[in-house]
């Protein structure tokens, strides 16, 4: 009887994929903290913080191990997009709320 295992191991030529997601996670949390602290949102309701989950979700997608170089590049781009969204979300939310306030003021006719 043959008792050899046929469990798939790591593919030949693959590199460890822990440093990149760890860096993107730390960068996204730091960028989100700086973006939030430098905006007027700290006094806002908590539901305005929900889009930060989208940024963290994009960064969380980088933790999946890429199988090809194209997937590696796509995961790096996804992590970079998540970090940028975490950094700029507070400014985007402020601009949208400001525009909504102006539109409400203009519609009111005062």
Q: 31-75, pLDDT tens digit by residue?
A: 888 888 888 777 777 777 788 888 999 999 999 888 888 888 999
Computed over every residue of the chain, the mean pLDDT equals 83
pLDDT band at 7 (very low <50, low <70, confident <90, very high): low
Give yes or no for residue 110 having a pLDDT over 70: no
Q: How far apart are CA 66 and CA 79, in angstroms?
A: 13
Model confidence band, residue 104 (pLDDT cutoffs 50, 70, 90)? very high
Compute the average pLDDT of residues 24-35. Answer: 89
Reference 76, options 32, 15, 7; nearest CA is: 15
């Amino acid at each position: 009887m043959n008792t050899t295992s046929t469990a798939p191991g790591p593919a030949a030529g693959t590199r460890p994929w822990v440093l990149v997601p760890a860096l993107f996670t730390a960068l996204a949390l730091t960028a989100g903290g700086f973006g939030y602290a430098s905006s007027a949102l700290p006094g806002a309701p908590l539901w305005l913080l929900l889009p930060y989950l989208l940024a963290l979700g994009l960064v969380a997608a980088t933790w999946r191990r890429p199988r090809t170089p194209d997937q590696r590049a796509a995961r790096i781009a996804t992590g970079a997009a998540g970090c940028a969204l975490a950094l700029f979300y507070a400014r985007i939310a402020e601009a949208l709320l400001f525009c909504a306030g102006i539109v409400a003021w203009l519609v009111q006719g005062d």
